[in-house]
Copies of this chain bind each other. A is one copy, B any other.
Amino acid sequence: MIVKIAVDAMGGDNSPAVEVAGAVAACKEWGCEVVLVGDTAKIQAELEKYQTRDLKIEIHHASEVVGMHDSPSDALRKKKDSSIRVAFNLVQQGVASAVVSAGNSGAIMASGMFVLGRVKGIERPAIGTFLPNLNDQTMVLDMGANVDCKASHLYQFAIMGSLYVENLLGKPHPRVGLLSNGEEEKKGNDLTRETHQLLKASQLNYLGYVEGGDVYNGAVDVVVCDGFVGNVLLKVSEGLAVAIGTMLKQEIESRFLAKLGFLFSRQAFSAFKKRINPAEYGGAPLLGISGVGIVCHGSSDPVAISIAIRQAGEYAKVRFEEKLATLL
């Protein structure tokens, strides 16, 4: 099976330089096949910086770009030749197997849904993301636009998250937790209490309610929540990590001995930074659409893009959609 990845070359904060560099790296290191989608001239100019003769990289033109502040519906209605949309068209036409984009996540999800449709039985597609924990990583979903959810939505998020972790991370019977404000059954809000009953009756390896702290201690493999809470969780984490880094730097830089000590510790700090960098754990998969898509952070570097391209290839190979359909 040949797996070709359509990479939206225009959506990120540093496009198309980062996407082109990432694609070149993925093709060199893992022999991936990539179609770079976007402004041909700009992509061509970046590609010329690399030796690409033996690599399977092509360009597919798209004349428009969706901005980070475009609404998903505007992106769909007004930018029919956007790089995101055209990338999904390539999947729909059978030219590519998956899409990778560092663009506007709402627009990526909307375009994927519009062009490829939902998996039959799925009420709301979701976006999953991976956060580092003390042992390896935790998948959290939904990180997408599903801000007002019903219990049946969260229930399906749990099924999709578990299936992804089992098939893509190779963990049998992933431990699933429902995010709540306490571990006891009587805790939670109306939504979690209803969802809890559905999950208890499911075939999943459901451990019950988990708390915010369990995202980072490795207690479960999958954490389920609505997209509003998921967004808060992610942004709070990013903000706190930055604040901790800044404050520690300030304290070290204000002391001569500490600055000296830091020189000795530099390697440890680099290893640590790499370990807590979510991009090391791959991009965020779209779940529940009839096709494969991976969303990268807008500020992704080439390494993050290359990891996401490889991940998209693996995601395309596991026949996720068929497996999901049989579970529903």
A-side interface residues toward B, CB under 8 Å?
Answer: 69, 71, 132-134, 147-148, 179-182, 184, 186, 188-190, 192, 211-217, 225, 227-229, 231-244, 246-248, 251-252, 254-255, 257-258, 260-269, 271-272, 275-276
CA distance A268 to B228 in the complex (A): 37
Tell whether A239 pairs with B215 under 8 Å between CB atoms, given A182-B231, A246-B134.
yes
Asked if A244 and B246 make an inter-chain contact with CB atoms under 8 angstroms apart, the answer reads no
Asked if A232 and B148 make an inter-chain contact with CB atoms under 8 angstroms apart, the answer reads no
Tell whether A240 pairs with B216 under 8 Å between CB atoms, given A229-B229, A232-B229.
yes
Asked if A235 and B213 make an inter-chain contact with CB atoms under 8 angstroms apart, the answer reads yes
Give chain A's interface secondary structure class. Answer: helix
Max count, chain B CB within 10 A of own CB: residue among A214, A234, A239, A262? A239
Closest chain B residue to A179, Cβ basis:
B232
| Distance to closest chain B CB from A130 (angstroms) | 14
Asked if A231 and B251 make an inter-chain contact with CB atoms under 8 angstroms apart, the answer reads no
Asked if A264 and B260 make an inter-chain contact with CB atoms under 8 angstroms apart, the answer reads yes
Asked if A227 and B181 make an inter-chain contact with CB atoms under 8 angstroms apart, the answer reads yes
11 example contacts (A-B, Cβ-Cβ < 8 A) are as follows A182-B231, A211-B231, A212-B231, A214-B239, A228-B229, A236-B237, A244-B244, A255-B267, A257-B265, A258-B268, A261-B268
CA distance A3 to B254 in the complex (A): 40
Q: Which residues of B contact A217 (CB under 8 A)?
A: 239, 242-243
Q: Which residues of B contact A248 (CB under 8 A)?
A: 268-269, 272
Asked if A276 and B244 make an inter-chain contact with CB atoms under 8 angstroms apart, the answer reads yes
